[in-house]
Amino acid sequence: MEQSLTSDQLRLRPLDAGDHQRVLAVIDEWWGGRRMSSRLSHVFFVHFRPTSFVLECDGELLGFLIGLVSQTAPDEAYVHFVGVHPGYRQLGLGRRLYGRFCTVAGLRGCEVARSHTAPENRLSIAFHQALGFAIDPGDGDVDGVSVWRDYAGPGEHRVRFVKRLGFVVPKLSSATRPLGPEPAAAVGW
C-alpha cells in the first residue's frame, strides 16, 4: 500500500473485541520494540467501544485509539492509548482518530479531553500540543518538561495533557442516552 491515502480509502469505526488480538500483534513493533502490549487489556476492547476506534485501509490496521468518558468526572474524556502504523505517520491519521474521539466525547457531554505520555516521548508531546492540548502543570520537571511524578507508578513520571472541547451537547438522561456507538455522521474532523 502506498503512503498517500485519500479519505474514501479509510475506514474509521468503533473498535470491537476482535480488534484486541490485531492490536496486540503490532503494538510492540509500532513502539520500536518497547513492550507495550501488557498495557492493553481485553477489557478496553469490550467496555470502551463507544469511545474507542480503529482506522483501516483495505482491512489493514493503520491506527487505533482507546478512550473513555470518566465515570468519576463525567464531563471529562480520557485517551488511554493511541497508535499509528509507523509507515503511515505524518498523514493526519492520529489527528483523525483524536478528532473522532473529541467529537464523540463532546456529543456525550464532555467539556474536557485529557491524555498523558512519558516525558521522553518528545514526538507525542509535540503531537498533542499541535492538536491544541496544553501541558497540565505537574509537581516535577524532566528535561524542562512539567511532569506528574510517579503518575504511572514509582519512577514512572508522566506529562499530562488537557484540552477544552469546542462544543458540548447537553447531557442526556440515562433513559434517553443511546446505548450503541455514536452515529458516523457525528465525525467533526
How many angstroms separate the Cα of 47 from the Cα of each of 14, 44, 154, 155?
12, 6, 28, 29
- Residue 105 domain flag: yes
Name the DSSP class of 18: T
The per-residue pLDDT for 184 is 45
Q: Tell me whether strands 53-57 and 10-14 are parallel, antiparallel or unpaired.
A: antiparallel
Q: Are residues 123 and 82 in the same domain?
A: no
User: What ranges make up the beta strands (E) of 8-128?
Assistant: 10-14, 53-57, 60-69, 76-84, 112-117
Q: Are residues 131 and 60 in the same domain?
A: no
Q: Over the chain (189 residues), what is each successive 10-residue block's mean pLDDT?
A: 69 94 92 83 91 94 96 96 93 95 94 96 95 97 96 96 83 54 45
- Residue 173 domain flag: no
The per-residue pLDDT for 188 is 43
Q: Are residues 106 and 14 in the same domain?
A: yes
The per-residue pLDDT for 168 is 61
d(CA 59, CA 112): 32
With cell 492540548, the residue in question is 133
d(CA 33, CA 75): 36
Q: Are residues 48 and 126 in the same domain?
A: no
The per-residue pLDDT for 178 is 52
Q: Are residues 14 and 61 in the same domain?
A: yes
Q: Tell me whether strands 60-69 and 53-57 are parallel, antiparallel or unpaired.
A: antiparallel
Number of domains in the chain: 2
Q: Are residues 45 and 25 in the same domain?
A: yes
Model confidence, pTM = 0.84
- What residues make up the domain containing 163? 116-168
